[in-house]
């Protein structure tokens, strides 16, 4: 049996997003996931190649997916990198500034008193195991795509995305989960609708899918920025505690 | 070309008003001009005359045009209301952007594009939820951020489910696999959950209650009227495009109707419980949303007419409710931090608007909700008492909820009347006493707007025939109703 390394790449990178908390790991994993997915689409040849890049035949669609992945990852990475900057303080009154100082102290205290705990990874780990079992079983029970590999890939991406949202402890992680889900529907659409019996791929939904990925990343970056500006942390428990 | 104008013109005007966002008056003036121009363009578009653009058909049905005109009018009302009511710095450009997206949803006939555009409208609406007024000296509330995050996640999940449903439907051929369970039910389940999330049916409703609680009333108006009603029209388009889904899932439709009945009952029941004014309004909207969804899921001519009329009424009633609510919540010149019970006396126009909006949602005559409710009751009666009784019980509970909140917040005695005039003390004269408070009346433009909306609701309630005739005409053009 031939090993499909691209499929393993999609699986492993999505698993990293599900398991880990640090954006320095998860955002690059998301970028690699987009790259693996684009190359997987090229390998499966849902669309005939119409470009030659470094001696390889590629379709424009694959290139668009790569560009989308880079754009999305850059948006999230740049947002995370610029969290230390302060925005819009000039209009704040003394109460607002005092509230910010209090939030910064609380966030600093929380970071200092929360060491690395293995137990934080138990739920995401078992969620990942569950998603893996489901992704291996569902393609046999309910095949939708043209091959088992495609079905495994989209089921895995959708389930890890959903479980990432369910187990997320911060806003950025929720965004990563949503983006994994968006990749799943992107793959499903490209693989299924390009089949001979289906209606055929249309350029507008494909373009909108890429745009949707970028807009989603922007929305998450904006909300993450707002939350950090307000509470000096991205932790969801702080957001709900503050309520 | 004229189709594209309807989509691209508000986008360019949104950019212009974004540049001028700090000059609120000018931005509102630009937005009103844009809405008027769009109204003119919408009336010029030929009906049912498809055009292909990049392989995607664009067309405008009579039903979609009626709602497009309604959305444009509602947007115009919110812009007028924004003159005096609190709103975010970017409210005008965001509303124009949403209008462009809503027009695209109503014009484009491709289900994949429809799903993505619906999500795009929600992503844009998220910006409005966390928007602060220009030059605000406070921080964005954590509750507003949490509401925006919840709304974003749920709407993206709804969009994904819808998209998967459409992809499955693309390869589904009826009767292809007779030995297996029909995929039509699975597809219908995906679409039902997805639209239930978008329309905030119980138990997928928490985003709506949070939104009403923590967002500015004008933002809530925008989301509930434009976005939810557009979702309902999108659902009608889905039924129209894929009638086989309905033909093969008769039993599954019963479950969908049951979900709507649960939403009606629980919405009414929650409204009766002691809670805040905003929360009660949210529950009344949930109740009414359930009624509208029931009408749609009944898949009869009567039910569908009731649902479409109900959606139109809901759009008007919710606008009236939230404009009135925003007026009632303005600082009224009296000491803050006290729960007032005389809001009708203090703000007579806004108080009357709130009561009328609530009555319209509950479906009591002579307001506009009465006829749509009647049609939906008739559709339920065709299926038997078992479906009609819970709907009537839900209405009764919602009515009680409205009566409770009216008694608690609106109809109490005036503050001046409640405090008896104390007699003069020895040596005290009238001049020694503090001057009588002169409380500001309601802002004139917003009061006129409220009365106009109230008048429209009343006029539709008293004379619904022209609208009913238009809806009947539109329903006759729907192939899925004929097929069923």
pLDDT in tens, chain A (243 residues): 677 888 999 999 999 999 988 888 999 999 999 999 999 988 888 788 777 777 777 788 888 999 999 999 999 998 888 765 555 556 666 666 677 677 667 666 666 666 667 777 888 899 999 999 999 999 888 888 888 999 999 999 999 999 999 999 889 999 999 999 999 999 999 988 888 777 777 888 889 999 999 999 999 999 998 888 888 788 888 778 755
Report the pLDDT value the prediction gives residue B185, as an integer from 0 to 100. Answer: 83
Residue of B125, B133, B132, B121 whose CA lies nearest to B149 = B125
The answer to whether B185 touches B34, Cβ cutoff 8 Å, is: no
Least confident window among A65-69, B3-7, B328-332:
B328-332
Cα atoms in the 13 Å half-sphere on the side-chain side of B108: 24
pLDDT at B424 over 90: no
- Look up residue B408 and give its DSSP letter: I
Give the Cα separation of A186 and B200 in Å (integer).
Answer: 26
Interface predicted TM-score of the whole assembly (ipTM), two decimals: 0.88
Cis status, amide bond into A191, omega within 30 of 0: no
DSSP B193-236: HHHHHHHT-TTS-HHHHHHHHHS-HHHHHIIIIIIHHHHHHHHH
- Look up residue B405 and give its DSSP letter: H
Q: Which residues of B touch A92 (CB under 8 A)?
A: 137-139
Mutation test of the interface with chain A: which of B110, B139, B146, choosing the one with the most A Cβ atoms within 10 A? B139
DSSP, collapsed to helix, strand or coil, labels residue A153 as helix
Give the Cα separation of A188 and A146 in Å (integer).
Answer: 10
Which of A171, A209, A226 lies nearest to residue B116, judging by beta carbons? Answer: A209
Share of chain B above pLDDT 90, in %: 60
Residue of A nearest to B153 (CA): A178
Give the Cα separation of B217 and A28 in Å (integer).
Answer: 40
**Cα A65 → chain centroid:** 14
DSSP, collapsed to helix, strand or coil, labels residue B246 as helix
Report the pLDDT value the prediction gives residue B93, as an integer from 0 to 100. Answer: 94
Give the Cα separation of B339 and B275 in Å (integer).
Answer: 13
Full-model pTM? 0.91
Q: Which residue has the higher pLDDT, B164 or B342?
A: B164
pLDDT at B356 over 90: yes
The answer to whether B395 touches B268, Cβ cutoff 8 Å, is: yes
Least confident window among B317-331, B369-383, B410-424, B434-448:
B410-424
Average pLDDT of span B21-26: 88
Q: Structure tokens of B273?
A: 């419980």
| Strands A56-58 vs A51-53: parallel, antiparallel or unpaired | antiparallel
Residue of B nearest to A201 (CA): B55
Average pLDDT of span B96-118: 92
Report the pLDDT value the prediction gives residue A235, as an integer from 0 to 100. Answer: 81
- Look up residue B419 and give its DSSP letter: S
pLDDT at B151 over 90: yes
The answer to whether B192 touches B256, Cβ cutoff 8 Å, is: yes
The answer to whether B256 touches B297, Cβ cutoff 8 Å, is: yes
The total of structural domains in chain A comes to 1
DSSP, collapsed to helix, strand or coil, labels residue A156 as helix
Mean pLDDT in chain B?
A: 88
pLDDT at B212 over 60: yes
The answer to whether B298 touches B379, Cβ cutoff 8 Å, is: yes
* Interchain contact B153–A (C-beta under 8 A): yes
The answer to whether B333 touches B439, Cβ cutoff 8 Å, is: yes
Torsion sign (Cα): B191, B195, B197, B203: negative
Which residues, at least 6 apart from A126, have a Cβ–Cβ distance to it below 8 Å? none
Give the Cα separation of B70 and B312 in Å (integer).
Answer: 8
- Highest mean pLDDT range out of B108-112, B233-237, B394-398? B394-398
Q: How far is B94 from chain A (nearest CA, A)?
A: 14
pLDDT at B392 over 60: yes
Q: Structure tokens of A150?
A: 């495609």
Instruction: Give, in order, the Cα–Cα distances in Å from A86 to each of A76, A107, B144, B377.
Output: 17, 15, 20, 56
Which of A181, A198, A243 lies nearest to residue B143, judging by beta carbons? Answer: A243
Torsion sign (Cα): B156, B162, B167, B168: positive
Predicted confidence band at B275 (pLDDT cuts at 50, 70, 90)?
confident
Report the pLDDT value the prediction gives residue B232, as an integer from 0 to 100. Answer: 92
* Interchain contact B8–A (C-beta under 8 A): no
Q: Structure tokens of B161?
A: 């489910």
- H/E stretch holding B52: strand B51-53
The answer to whether B317 touches B456, Cβ cutoff 8 Å, is: no
**Cα B478 → chain centroid:** 24
Cβ of B135 within 8 Å of Cβ of A91? The answer is yes
Torsion sign (Cα): B473, B479, B481, B484: positive
Average pLDDT of span B455-471: 93
pLDDT at B5 over 80: yes
Range of the domain at A89: 5-242
Q: Structure tokens of A201?
A: 């791929």
By CB atoms closer than 10 A (0-12, 13-18, 19+), residue B345 is middle
């Amino acid at each position: 049996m031939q090993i499909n390394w691209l499929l393993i790449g999609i699986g492993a990178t999505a698993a990293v997003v599900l398991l880990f908390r640090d954006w320095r790991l998860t955002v690059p994993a998301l970028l690699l996931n987009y790259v693996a997915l684009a190359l997987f689409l090229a390998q499966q040849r849902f669309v005939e190649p119409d470009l030659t890049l470094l001696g390889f035949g590629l379709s424009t669609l694959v290139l668009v997916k790569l560009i989308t992945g880079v754009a999305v990852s850059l948006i999230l990475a740049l947002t995370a990198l610029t969290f230390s900057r302060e925005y819009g303080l000039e209009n704040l009154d003394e109460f607002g500034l005092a509230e910010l100082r209090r939030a910064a102290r609380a966030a600093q205290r929380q970071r200092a008193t929360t060491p690395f705990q293995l137990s934080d990874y138990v739920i995401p780990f078992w969620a990942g195991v569950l998603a893996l079992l489901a992704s291996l079983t569902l393609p046999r029970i309910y095949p939708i795509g043209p091959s088992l590999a495609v079905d495994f890939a989209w089921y895995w991406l959708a389930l890890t995305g959903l479980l990432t949202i369910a187990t997320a402890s911060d806003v950025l992680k929720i965004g990563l989960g949503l983006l994994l889900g968006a990749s799943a529907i992107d793959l499903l659409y490209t693989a299924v609708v390009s089949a001979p019996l289906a209606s055929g791929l249309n350029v507008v939904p494909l373009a909108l899918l890429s745009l949707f990925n970028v807009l989603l990343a922007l929305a998450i970056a904006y909300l993450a920025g707002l939350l950090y500006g307000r509470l000096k942390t991205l932790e969801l428990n702080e957001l709900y505690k503050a309520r | 070309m004229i189709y594209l104008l309807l989509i691209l013109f508000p986008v360019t005007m949104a950019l212009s008003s974004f540049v001028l966002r700090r000059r609120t008056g000018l931005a509102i003036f630009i937005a009103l001009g844009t809405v008027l121009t769009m109204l003119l363009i919408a009336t010029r578009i030929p009906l049912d005359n498809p055009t292909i653009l990049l392989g995607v058909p664009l067309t405008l049905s009579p039903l979609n045009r009626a709602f497009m005109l309604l959305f444009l009018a509602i947007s115009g009302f919110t812009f007028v209301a924004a003159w005096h009511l609190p709103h975010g710095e970017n409210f005008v450009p965001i509303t124009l952007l949403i209008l462009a997206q809503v027009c695209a949803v109503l014009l484009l006939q491709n289900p994949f594009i429809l799903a993505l555009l619906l999500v795009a409208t929600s992503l844009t609406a998220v910006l409005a939820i966390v928007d602060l007024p220009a030059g605000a000296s406070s921080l964005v509330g954590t509750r507003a951020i949490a509401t925006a995050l919840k709304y974003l996640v749920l709407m993206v999940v709804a969009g994904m489910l819808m998209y998967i449903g459409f992809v499955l439907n693309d390869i589904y051929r009826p009767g292809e696999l007779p030995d297996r369970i029909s995929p039509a039910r699975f597809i219908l389940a995906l679409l039902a959950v997805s639209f239930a999330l978008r329309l905030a049916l119980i138990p997928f409703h928490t985003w709506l209650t949070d939104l009403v609680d923590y967002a500015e009333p004008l933002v809530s108006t925008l989301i509930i009227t434009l976005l939810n009603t557009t979702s309902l029209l999108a659902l009608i388009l889905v039924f129209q495009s894929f009638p086989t889904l309905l033909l093969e899932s008769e039993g599954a439709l019963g479950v969908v109707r049951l979900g709507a009945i649960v939403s009606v009952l629980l919405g009414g029941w929650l409204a009766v419980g002691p809670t805040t004014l905003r929360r009660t309004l949210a529950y009344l909207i949930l109740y009414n949303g359930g009624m509208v969804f029931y009408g749609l899921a009944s898949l009869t001519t009567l039910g569908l007419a009731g649902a479409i009329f109900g959606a139109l009424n809901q759009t008007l009633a919710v606008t009236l409710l939230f404009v009135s609510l925003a007026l009632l919540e303005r600082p009224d010149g009296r000491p803050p931090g006290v729960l007032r019970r005389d809001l009708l006396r203090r703000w007579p126009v806004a108080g009357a608007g709130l009561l009328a909006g609530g009555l319209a949602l509950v479906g009591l005559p002579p307001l506009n909700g009465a006829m749509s409710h009647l049609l939906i009751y008739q559709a339920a009666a065709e299926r038997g008492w078992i479906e009609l009784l819970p709907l009537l019980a839900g209405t009764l509970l919602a009515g009680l909820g409205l009566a409770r909140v009216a008694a608690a917040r609106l109809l109490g005695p005036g503050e001046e009347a409640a405090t008896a005039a104390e007699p003069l003390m020895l040596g005290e004269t009238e001049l020694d006493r503090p001057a009588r408070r002169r409380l500001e009346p309601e802002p004139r433009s917003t009061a006129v707007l409220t009365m106009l909306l109230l008048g429209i609701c009343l006029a539709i309630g008293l004379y619904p025939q022209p609208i009913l005739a238009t809806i009947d005409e539109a329903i006759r053009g729907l192939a899925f109703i004929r097929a069923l």
